[in-house]
Amino acid sequence: QVQLQESGPGLVKPSETLSLTCTVSDDSISRYYWSWIRQPPGKGLEWIGYIYYKGSTIYNPSLRSRVTISVDTSKNQFSLKLSSVTAADTAIYYCARTPAGPPYNYMDVWGKGTTVTVSS
Amino acid sequence: QSVLTQPPSVSAAPGQKVTISCSGSTSNIGNNYVSWYQQLPGTAPKLLISQNNRRPSGIPDRFSGSKSGTSATLDITGLQTGDEADYYCGTWDSSLGGVFGTGTKVTVL
pLDDT value at B1 more than 80: no
Residues 26-55 of A with CB under 8 A from B: 35, 37, 44-47, 49-50
Spatial distance between the Cα atoms of A117 and A85, rounded to a whole number of angstroms: 10
User: A60 at the B interface (CB within 8 A)?
Assistant: yes
Q: How many degrees, rounded to 5, is the angle at CA A61 between CA A93 and CA A86?
A: 50
Reported as a single tens digit per residue, the pLDDT across B38-90 is 999 999 999 999 999 999 999 999 999 999 999 999 999 999 999 999 999 99
Q: Residue A119 phi/psi, 5° resolution?
A: -160, 150
pLDDT values of chain A reduced to their tens digit, one per residue, 120 residues:
999 999 999 999 999 999 999 999 998 898 899 999 999 999 999 999 999 999 999 999 999 999 999 999 999 999 999 999 999 999 999 999 999 988 999 999 999 999 999 999
CB nearest A106 (choices: B44, B47, B99): B47
Put simply, the answer to whether B100 touches A61 (Cβ < 8 Å) is no
Reported as a single tens digit per residue, the pLDDT across A13-35 is 999 999 999 999 998 898 899 99
Tell me, what's the pLDDT at B94?
96
Put simply, the answer to whether A45 touches B102 (Cβ < 8 Å) is no
Structural contact between residues A34 and A21, judged by C-beta atoms closer than 8 angstroms: no
Structural contact between residues B71 and B23, judged by C-beta atoms closer than 8 angstroms: yes
